[in-house]
């Protein structure tokens, strides 16, 4: 039945609750997305900070190495220039040493400067006025300069010097006035210089600092391992890029221990590359601590939000259920469960306007229990209540359409609104109700009802009260005719010539009397 049966069967609306829960979840997801975005930016910032720090350190080390090589190279250039003075050979060894060699050759970690002729024989040694016999014809630096007249400064791979100490050799070609090969001037920088330089750098437990020759061989590494000196790194991941670019960075596993590192390198234009490797673990450890804290906070927030959403949803459902229950109580007759008089009036007014717009017939049944006062006096108020409940159940069963509305009109009277129903279809419903009630037996007692029926196509100048009055008049006709029967009012129509704009000028009382006939 409409609308009460629908309201009784429907659950409280959950749209608001769902919206609130969805909003809370959206807030949590939004905060989570923001947190993840912040964490990613923090991770990137940690990586970039480490790169900048490594780049600055690598630049400082490279500048120190480059400066010492440049100082030593100045000494080599001076020897190459002065050795070509024709009179140099006529000077005493002591004077010749003063002219050819400066104090750079005597600095700590620097080896002596030596001059070899075109045949590879040692001619001059800065550490001795009378050089010991020595030949360099098979040495790398000698062969390089003999074959390359434009080679410039050459820096060798690490090799042992005359005292057995590991060093790298720096050399330049001596050319005659005609450009012919005239020999080599060579000096050395001991690896102890690089070792001491690297040792002063504070590295993390898994960090590394490596000096690489441009051709891919290791010159020095920290943490120090003698086995790494001279190791060929060609073929190692990223080494070709390091050899070809003066500065840059990359991520790769360490060639020695496989530890994932961020490698940053610097080369000021010379043959040696300073490579600083910082372990990714040391870069991201602080970030991971912050990330763990933030994620924990977000997890707590999510749990609190979820709990609050659940509690709020429960409270909303409870409140909605209470409101629904109170709404039902406000429109429901407490004894019979049918619509009460207030609901009946609202629905009748609504259906009157709807059928008026659609120009369809609206029917009304008024049902009165026959001799109810006598029944009530005989069986008591509880018996009377049982009878009214049973009659209400019967009416509800017989009023089958969803749009129909059964209501308790007052006392022992009931009403049924039948939208879009003709007088004929209303008579059929009324007869079903009358027959079904007649079949009721309450402890051997039988009950009957009288029913008034009226139908009308609502006109614009009519009111629902006139339909009620016509139906009520038909009900009294049924009672006057002997009760336990149905009586219909004549169709209510506008007076001729008035159409929907007006009705007969007779009073409402006249219309009611005429309708009941």
Among 239, 257, 281, the domain-final residue is 281
Same domain, 480 and 506: yes
Q: Where are the alpha helices (DSSP H) in 105-210?
A: 140-147, 191-199
DSSP 3-state assignment of 442? strand
Same domain, 347 and 490: yes
- pLDDT score for 29: 84
pLDDT tens readout for residues 74-114:
989 999 888 888 888 778 888 888 878 876 666 788 888 99
Same domain, 434 and 410: yes
Q: Determine which helix (DSSP H) or strand (DSSP E) holds 27, and give its type and residue range.
A: helix 15-82
Q: Is 322 contained in some domain? A: no
Q: Which residue has the higher pLDDT, 29 or 367?
A: 367
pLDDT beyond 90 at 118: yes
pLDDT tens readout for residues 137-152:
999 999 999 998 887 8
Q: What is the token pair recorded at 123?
A: 């001619």
Q: Is 100 contained in some domain? A: yes
Number of domains composing the chain: 3
Same domain, 509 and 367: yes
Same domain, 211 and 350: no
Q: DSSP for 362-421?
A: EEEEEEEETTHHHHHHHHHHHHHHHHHHHHHHHHHHH--STT-EEEEEETTEEEEEEET-
Cβ atoms of 100 and 191 closer than 8 Å:
no
CATH number of the domain residue 102 falls in: 3.30.450.20
Cα–Cα distance measured from residue 182 to residue 199, given in angstroms and rounded to the nearest whole number:
40
Nearest by Cα to 186 from 129, 144, 216: 144
Cα Rg of the chain, angstroms: 55
- pLDDT score for 455: 96
Same domain, 217 and 364: no
Q: Is 490 contained in some domain? A: yes
pLDDT beyond 90 at 23: no
**What is the rounded average pLDDT of the residues 371-398?**
93
Cβ atoms of 449 and 368 closer than 8 Å:
yes
Question: Quick count: other Cβ atoms within 10 Å of Cβ 26?
Answer: 10
Same domain, 386 and 459: yes
Same domain, 390 and 455: yes
pLDDT over 90 percentage in the chain:
50
Q: Is 252 contained in some domain? A: yes
Q: How confident is the model at residue 2 (pLDDT cuts 50, 70, 90)?
A: very low
Cα–Cα distance measured from residue 221 to residue 57, given in angstroms and rounded to the nearest whole number:
15
Same domain, 199 and 187: no
Structural domain that includes position 223: 195-281
Same domain, 337 and 204: no
- In order of 16, 72, 361, 507, 511, the CA distances from 500 in angstroms are 44, 119, 14, 17, 16
pLDDT tens readout for residues 329-357:
788 998 999 999 999 999 999 999 999 99
DSSP 3-state assignment of 262? strand
> In this structure, is the dihedral angle defined by the CA atoms of residues 373, 375, 379 and 382, taken in order, positive or negative?
negative
Close Cβ partners of 305 (under 8 Å, ≥ 6 residues apart): 24, 25, 27, 28
Cα–Cα distance measured from residue 412 to residue 402, given in angstroms and rounded to the nearest whole number:
24
Close Cβ partners of 20 (under 8 Å, ≥ 6 residues apart): 309, 312, 313, 316
Question: Quick count: other Cβ atoms within 10 Å of Cβ 483?
Answer: 14
- In order of 68, 336, 343, the CA distances from 329 in angstroms are 99, 12, 11
pLDDT beyond 50 at 126: yes
Same domain, 111 and 133: yes
CATH number of the domain residue 464 falls in: 3.30.70.270
Q: Is 14 contained in some domain? A: no
Cβ atoms of 366 and 440 closer than 8 Å:
no
Q: Is 450 contained in some domain? A: yes
| Cα 240 from chain centre | 40
Same domain, 248 and 351: no
Cα–Cα distance measured from residue 456 to residue 359, given in angstroms and rounded to the nearest whole number:
10
Among 221, 246, 281, the domain-final residue is 281
Strands 218-222 and 247-253: unpaired
pLDDT beyond 60 at 3: no
Among 243, 262, 281, the domain-final residue is 281
Residue whose entry in the numeric block shows the structure tokens 């009226």: 454
Q: Is 174 contained in some domain? A: yes
Q: Is 460 contained in some domain? A: yes
Q: Which residue has the higher pLDDT, 23 or 473?
A: 473
Cα–Cα distance measured from residue 431 to residue 468, given in angstroms and rounded to the nearest whole number:
19
| Cα 169 from chain centre | 59
């Amino acid at each position: 039945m409409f609308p009460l049966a629908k309201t009784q069967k429907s659950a409280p609306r959950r749209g608001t609750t769902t919206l609130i829960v969805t909003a809370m979840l959206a807030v949590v997801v939004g905060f989570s997305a923001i947190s993840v975005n912040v964490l990613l930016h923090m991770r990137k910032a940690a990586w970039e900070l480490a790169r900048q720090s490594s780049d600055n350190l690598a630049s400082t080390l490279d500048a120190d190495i480059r400066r010492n090589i440049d100082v030593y190279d100045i000494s080599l250039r001076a020897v190459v220039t002065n050795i070509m003075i024709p009179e140099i050979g006529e000077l005493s060894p002591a004077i010749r040493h003063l002219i050819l060699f400066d104090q750079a050759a005597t600095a700590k970690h620097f080896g002596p400067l030596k001059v070899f002729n075109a045949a590879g024989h040692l001619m001059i040694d800065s550490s001795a006025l009378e050089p010991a016999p020595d030949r360099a014809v098979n040495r790398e630096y000698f062969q390089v300069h003999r074959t390359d007249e434009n080679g410039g400064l050459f820096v060798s791979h690490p090799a042992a010097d005359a005292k057995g100490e590991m060093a790298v050799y720096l050399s330049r070609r001596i050319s005659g006035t005609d450009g012919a090969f005239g020999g080599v001037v060579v000096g050395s920088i001991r690896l102890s210089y690089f070792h001491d330089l690297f040792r002063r750098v504070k590295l993390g437990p898994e960090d590394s600092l490596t000096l690489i020759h441009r051709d891919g061989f290791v010159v020095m590494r920290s943490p120090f391992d003698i086995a790494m000196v001279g190791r060929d790194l060609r073929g190692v991941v990223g080494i070709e890029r390091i050899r070809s670019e003066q500065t840059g960075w990359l991520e790769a596993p360490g060639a020695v221990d496989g530890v994932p590192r961020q490698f940053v390198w610097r080369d000021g234009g010379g043959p040696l590359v300073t490579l600083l490797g910082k372990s990714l673990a040391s870069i991201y450890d602080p970030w991971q601590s912050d990330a763990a804290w933030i994620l924990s906070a977000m997890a707590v927030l999510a749990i609190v939000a979820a709990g609050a959403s659940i509690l709020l949803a429960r409270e909303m459902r409870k409140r909605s259920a209470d409101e629904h229950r109170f709404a039902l109580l406000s429109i429901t007759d407490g004894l019979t469960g049918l619509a009460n008089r207030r609901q009946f009036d609202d629905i009748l007014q609504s259906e009157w306007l709807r059928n008026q717009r659609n120009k369809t017939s609206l029917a009304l049944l008024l049902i009165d229990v026959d001799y109810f006062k006598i029944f009530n006096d005989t069986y008591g108020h509880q018996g009377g209540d049982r009878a009214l409940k049973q009659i209400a159940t019967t009416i509800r069963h017989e009023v089958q359409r969803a749009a129909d509305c059964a209501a308790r009109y007052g006392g022992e009277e009931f009403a049924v609104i039948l939208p879009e129903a003709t007088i004929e279809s209303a008579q059929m419903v009324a007869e079903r109700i009358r027959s079904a009630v007649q079949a009721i037996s309450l402890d051997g007692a039988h009950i009957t009802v009288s029913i008034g029926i009226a139908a009308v196509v609502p006109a614009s100048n009519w009111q629902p009260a006139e339909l009620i009055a016509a139906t009520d008049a038909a009900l009294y006709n049924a009672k006057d005719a002997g009760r336990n029967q149905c009586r219909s009012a004549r169709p209510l129509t506008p007076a001729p010539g008035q159409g929907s704009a007006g009705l007969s000028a007779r009073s409402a009382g006249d219309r009611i009397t005429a309708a009941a006939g």
